[in-house]
Amino acid sequence: MTTALPFVALLVAMGIVSSRHYWLALLMAVPAAGLLVRLFIFQHDCGHGSFFRSRAANDAVGRAISVLTLTPYGHWRKGHAIHHASSGNLDRRGRGDVEILTVDEYRDLSPIGRLGYRLYRSPYVQVIIGAPLNFIVLQRIPRGASFRDRGARRSMLALDAALAVVFGAAMMLAGVGTVLAVYLPVMVLASWIGNWLFYVQHQFDDAYWERDGTWNFHASALRGSSYFKLSPILQWFSGNIGLHHIHHLCSRVPNYHLQACFDDAPELHLFARRISLRESLRCWRFALWDEQRRTMVAFRDLDLRTA
């Protein structure tokens, strides 16, 4: 009621004013994108089975929201569960997380491989280009492992069909140009915000990375997931996901109870790795895990050490 209805109302208002005052429609896209991020958190909780008590209700609402977030519910749910089961494990990287290399692995790459990894870790490539590309285009096309996985393929194609029906109907009513002019800016902004939120939750200087034999689930949750401390308004729009160390400790806690958990458990204050809004901007420079120093380092740090 407090998220979906204002979101739809903003889309309708954007469609009405877009033909004469498109700049006003773009201004309205900012709060609409914030509401879409919040809706994604609801879908995320449904995938964890935590938003409702009923699994059927979680799956129904999660799939409905996926039409707005352009994210295949079943495929994303499986990949995200793997992320929770392996976050911080150097021997189980590569599914549902941001790719990270160790210093030694980076040094073993060819010059072209190093350039590719540097581009991948660039916020301009990963956020500005990569995030919208992933949500709008890549999640439409089963490829690689998702093509070979029958469940993933079915999830992606089912969402594609639903998108054709829902957005096709909207285009018949309002026009193709109007729908694209309204929804694309909202989706692009939301993908930028969402990607940024996900990145800073695990990419900071004293993050947690261990090999399989010494990896510990609880240590990974508390030491490898940040507490992204935001203002009350931004915390509301982001669905409390900044309390990420609690979420990784117990993913069955719904977003609307995370703050209460934090307030009631002093231990969660003690272990929290707080990251402020300003500090989060500096997290983008961290790109490699130094196994010897047990810290994340920037390319610049590595270049200075090898100079």
Share of the chain above pLDDT 90, in %: 81
- How far apart, in whole angstroms, are the C-alpha atoms of residue 28 and residue 294? 44
Render 258-288 in DSSP notation, one character per residue: HHHHHHH-HHHHHS-EEE-HHHHHHGGGEEE
pLDDT band at 264 (very low <50, low <70, confident <90, very high): very high
Q: Report the pLDDT value the prediction gives residue 307, as an integer from 0 to 100.
A: 43
| DSSP type of residue 257 | G
Are the CB atoms for 274 and 229 separated by under 8 Å?
Answer: yes
83-102 pLDDT, tens digit per residue, is: 999 999 999 987 778 899 99
Write out pLDDT tens, residues 159-171.
Answer: 999 999 999 999 9
Task: Give the separation between CA 294 and CA 299, rounded to whole angstroms.
Answer: 16
On whether the CB atoms of residues 267 and 254 are closer than 8 A, the answer is no
Contact 120, 99 (CB under 8 A): yes
Is 237 within 8 Å of 283 (Cβ atoms)?
no
Residue that the structure tokens 């990375």 belong to: 209
Q: What is the pLDDT of residue 305?
A: 57
Paired residues of 296 in beta bridges: 289
The domain locations on the chain are 4-306
What element of type H or E holds 295? strand 295-298
What's the pLDDT score for residue 146?
78
Q: Please give the pLDDT value at position 282.
A: 87
Residue bearing the bigger pLDDT, 108 or 300: 108
pLDDT at residue number 144: 79
Mean pLDDT across the chain: 93
Percent of the chain with pLDDT over 70: 98
Partners of 298 in beta bridges: 286
Task: Please say if the pLDDT value at position 302 is more than 90.
Answer: no
Cβ pair 258, 247 in contact under 8 A: yes
At residue 140, does pLDDT exceed 70?
yes
Check residue 114 and give its pLDDT. Answer: 94
Q: Which two tokens stand for residue 16?
A: 């009405």
Pick from 33, 22, 4: nearest CA to 234: 33
Q: What is the DSSP letter of 97?
A: S
| Mean pLDDT (whole number) for 237-262 | 96
Residue 155's CB is within 10 A of a number of other CB atoms, namely 24
State the Cα–Cα distance between residues 186 and 26, nearest whole angstrom. Answer: 8
Find out whether 284 and 191 touch, Cβ atoms under 8 Å. no
Q: Is the pLDDT of residue 201 over 50?
A: yes
pLDDT value for 257: 97
Instruction: Tell me the pLDDT band of 304, cut-offs 50, 70 and 90.
Output: low
**pLDDT for 35-69, tens place per residue?**
999 999 999 999 999 999 999 999 999 999 999 99
Torsional sign, CA 222, 226, 231, 232: negative
